[in-house]
Structure 1
Amino acid sequence: MASSSAGIVTGLTMAALVTIGVLGHQASVGAPAGLGPTTRATTSPAPGAAKAPRDGRHPDALPTMSGTGERVVYSVDDDRVWLVGPGNEVRRTFEVTPSTVDPTPGAYTVTSRSKLVTGSDGIPVEHVVRFAGAQGVAIGFSAAVDGSTARPDPDRPTGGIRETRADGDAMWKFATIGRQVVVVP
């Protein structure tokens, strides 16, 4: 009986470990495609923290598992955006300055746009392309009218992912209402 009970306990322990591993993996890759956005958000790393491309890939390489079709891809770990056209062709890629609130990885769509407004950090911005919301702020891409891309105050929740003015213009032309935005780790 003792060896039979030990075998059952060992089997249950292994099953629990496998389940934890699977759930941990699912949490690390975000919501599966088709489930839509979630409302959870994470905080960006401390301003000035260097980020290196993951998995030894070239920093400009489109992340695998970023979907298909025409879309905007945003990597919160790499602080980089890809504008992807037909045939999975990268039309443009560029670095961005992250907001203090990151969107959760998943699939979103552009829900609103503004030509010229004041950002959640008080800075005048143009070419605002919004696609998510979390922690009471709208999350979207924008370019400061004065061309600055300074890191935001880490103690203030902001949703503006800042681009240069040239990159903001390209985003504005590409990311119209309804365009898919895929956020990857």
Structure 2
Amino acid sequence: MARSSSGFVAGLTAAALAVVGFLTYQASASAPDSLAAPKKTEKSPSATATHASKNKQDPNAVPAQSGIGERVVYSVGDDRVWLVGEGGKAQRTFKVAPSTVDPPAGRYVVSSRSGAIPGSDGVPIEHVVRFANVEGIPIGFSAAVDGSMPEPDPLKKTGGIREKRADGDAMWEFATIGKKIVVVP
């Protein structure tokens, strides 16, 4: 009897390992080559041309690949945000100053918010809306209290996407905890 139960356990173990191996293969086959955020200087000419032609047509148009429903859309390539209402129309769109660490394209939700804190660059910021974490660096939107939108220091890894104060106020009102955030290239 002990012999048959050990054979049964061995069979279950082998089956479990086969399932884990198969799922690992599936995950690796569909995963990107790198989980690191693409650098802005690595854009292909065709991707840049696509962004440029879309903006010339209508910079207020919500990117088609950003899904449906009420959401915040952030284009890493265009450094632009859209606050999209229930009807799928942009209630507001604005340019932002990107951080040095970009979130990968994908779907997120607002995970935390802070009314006022010091930014990672030492500048006091307000209306912080966080939605991602890349390599331990929190990613979110914020506005500098002094209204500045400086170029980020390329030697520091920061995740603060800076908005003008009025845009930060609008984001704060719109992007509550759990609100969808869609990042597009």
> Taking structure 2 as the reference length, what is the TM-score of the superposition?
0.74
Residue 38 (structure 2) aligns with: 42
Tell me how large the CA RMSD over aligned residues is. Answer: 2.5
Amino acid at match of 2:173: K
CA offset at residue 52 of structure 1?
A: 7.0
5+ unaligned residues in a row in structure 1: which ranges?
1-22, 29-37
Distance 1:70 1:149 in 2: 27
Larger Rg: 2
CA, structure 1 residues 147+180, in 2 after alignment: closer, same or farther (shift >3 Å)?
same
User: d(CA) in 1 for partners of 2:136 and 2:84?
Assistant: 29
Alignment correspondent of 1:152 = 152
Distance 1:175 1:39, change over 3 A: farther
Counterpart CA distance in 2 for 1:175 and 1:84 is 10
Greater relative contact order structure (CA < 8 Å, 6+ sep): 1
Structure 1 Cα separation of the partners of residues 173 and 134 of structure 2? 25
Partner Cα distance (1:72, 1:41) in 2: 19
Match of 1:88 in 2: 88
Shift of 1:149: 0.3
**1:53 and 1:78 in contact (8 A); partners too:** no
One-letter amino acid matched to 1:170: A
Is the contact made by 2:116 and 2:127 (CA closer than 8 Å) also made in structure 1?
A: yes
Contact 2:60 2:90 in 1 (8 A): no
Unaligned runs of 5+ in 2: 1-28, 43-47
* 4+ long deviations beyond 6 Å: none
Aligned to 2:51: 54
Residue 117 in structure 1 maps to residue 113 in structure 2: no
What is the TM-score of this pair, normalised by structure 1? 0.74
Which SS does the other structure have where 2:65 is aligned? Answer: coil
Counterpart Cα distance in 2 of 1:77 and 1:165: 22
Percent identity of equivalent pairs: 60
